[in-house]
Homo-oligomer: A and B are copies of this chain.
């Protein structure tokens, strides 16, 4: 990996370039390309690499352009750089491979990838060399791949600090349909219901609704591209959800009419739905990829002012308690913040004692 060409200097492409150029151990020469001269110059000015003038051949090409043109660009790069390994970062993978195979592209040299990283801001200006640190990077090996080409792409992801996960393009697309694309659609469906909500109703909304709808703030154009590129796998998951939803509706309808007709089994149906959610939720890996631990949670009220978090965490640190998870909650109409701290169950008592000793108000 002596020379890497990055095609597309948006958030992901520029982050890859910055990560590779800034490695102290073995710096890589990065050649930048983008159809927008402004975006290209910006990435260069940020230190992401040099503008590709066509005089140097790259060993590895990273295609980081919008998902709806990735297939064509990968094909063009395979043709223009007949010795290079070509990878991409698009969030749907089977379609890119299909495009390569359908056009007779060199499938031995194309190894698709998908770094599970992003930011709410976009463009080169939001790029970070460490964007991929500790994040999964899916590499989609295929039987046609030259093993040395696969190794080169894996080495790049590892060089950027990512955790490599290999799976087939079809398995990848089904996995992201389940863990990323469907949750996006569902969050949007729930949030869309709030459009016509009375003011009082949104006033009493709590953390649960905020969590369920957080990703509903995403970019509509980008998501229309992603969802349409992965239409069949997303539809399959959504259809299964709709079947369960129809079951819940039948139970609720029976309960709403219970004064007239006994709703046999309806409560059980609802309880089973929530219990199935419990089991599914437990499948999610916990911190550092380990099995989930049931953390104990402690909520502290703190004044809403600079330095307050510092003071509370200093007191916690002194007590030798490690915080596993934390979140800052809203306190409507009050000038206090509520910080929810999750710790190992064995550490809860020590944490509560330390907080009380330092005069912090533990509220839950």
Cross-chain contact A212 with B193 (CB below 8 angstroms)? no
Pick out which of these stretches binds chain B: A41-49, A53-61, A149-157, A327-335: A327-335
Please give, as numbers and ranges, the residues of chain B lying within 8 Å of A320 by CB-CB distance: 306-307
* Contact A119/B204 with A192-B280, A216-B281 known, Cβ cut-off 8 Å: no
> What count of chain A residues pass the 8 Å CB interface test?
150
Q: Could you tell me the distance between the alpha carbons of A246 and B193 in the complex, rounded to whole angstroms?
A: 15
Please give, as numbers and ranges, the residues of chain B lying within 8 Å of A307 by CB-CB distance: 317-318, 320
Q: Could you tell me the distance between the alpha carbons of A101 and B182 in the complex, rounded to whole angstroms?
A: 44
* Contact A276/B333 with A179-B202, A228-B266, A310-B310 known, Cβ cut-off 8 Å: no
Cross-chain contact B267 with A203 (CB below 8 angstroms)? no
Pick out which of these stretches binds chain B: A28-36, A71-79, A105-113, A297-305: A297-305
Q: Is A261 an interface residue (CB 8 A)?
A: no
Given contacts A195-B283, A224-B268, A306-B317, 18 further A-B contacts (CB under 8 A): A136-B332, A165-B203, A174-B201, A179-B194, A183-B213, A185-B245, A189-B244, A191-B280, A193-B237, A193-B280, A195-B276, A202-B284, A219-B274, A228-B255, A306-B322, A309-B316, A310-B310, A326-B327
Jot down 27 A-B pairs with beta carbons below 8 A, ordered by A: A116-B206, A128-B362, A128-B364, A130-B361, A133-B334, A134-B331, A171-B198, A178-B197, A182-B190, A192-B276, A192-B279, A210-B284, A211-B211, A213-B284, A217-B281, A218-B277, A219-B274, A234-B252, A241-B245, A242-B242, A288-B330, A288-B331, A288-B334, A288-B335, A309-B313, A309-B323, A310-B310
